[in-house]
Amino acid sequence: MTSPAHLTALRESYDTLADDYFAQVPPVSGMDPLNRGMPGAFAELVRADGSGPVADLGCGPGRTTAHLVGLGLSAFGIDLSPKMVEVARRNHPGLDFTEGSMACLDIASGTLGGIMAWYSVHHTPPEQLPGLFGEFHRVLAPGGRVLIGDWTGTGEEVVPGPVFGHPVSYRNYFLPLSRLVELLTEAGLDVTAHLEQEPDGRLKRRHACVLARKPPARNPAPVTS
């Protein structure tokens, strides 16, 4: 089966960027306090639910997966780029990393306690986000949590210039936070919290974190005689 063009562009570009990405992009622990805080809150909620493992989707070189494990979660990473997976395995031995697409997960339905998509959703064309979030809903256990961290915008499509000196062929799609919330809700996920930060000199674009949850299973009504 032929891979969609945007996935081919992503795979080829991130294969080229993998080593420089690991060397130059800070881990979650090196980000600002709010960006550090949201994964911590997500981990606490997932631990309290006790509903299954966590998938770090678009895990890149594995630092976010390792961060989640350090927060006490049973986490594994999935990335589209074979080179990113190679870098993740090399730098985080003992953790589980697999090549794959977040839009078509080789994961049984209703089995995950959580999903983290950390600055990876913005590569998906907007018209494909309903299917992507529907896939999130499918693999989550009832009550399972989602944390999305990503750049936001006004709906613009951006063709980036060279990244770390390497030309790339992928595109970025920066949606308003309100649209991300709407799409998650339409996919059957309850948005429980969201936070958007303004550019502050260090950051050149708004970015947001969104917490959502698959509705818990309802207990059947008691049978009365």
pLDDT attached to residue 3? 67
When pLDDT is averaged across residues 10-34 and rounded to a whole number, the result is 89
User: What is d(CA 132, CA 101) in angstroms, rounded to the nearest whole number?
Assistant: 10
pLDDT at 112: 98
For residues 214 and 202, give the distance between their C-alpha atoms in angstroms, rounded to a whole number.
34
pTM exceeds cut of 0.95: no
Judged against a pLDDT cut of 70, whether residue 42 lies above it is answered with yes
Sorted by where each starts, the structural domains of the chain and their CATH numbers stand as 5-213 (3.40.50.150)
Q: CA-CA distances (angstroms) from residue 108 to 3, 81, 179, 199?
A: 22, 22, 28, 39
- Tens of pLDDT, residues 202-211: 767 899 999 9
Residue 161: φ, ψ to 5°: -80, -165
* pLDDT tens by residue, 147-201: 999 999 999 999 888 999 999 999 999 999 999 999 999 999 999 999 999 887 7
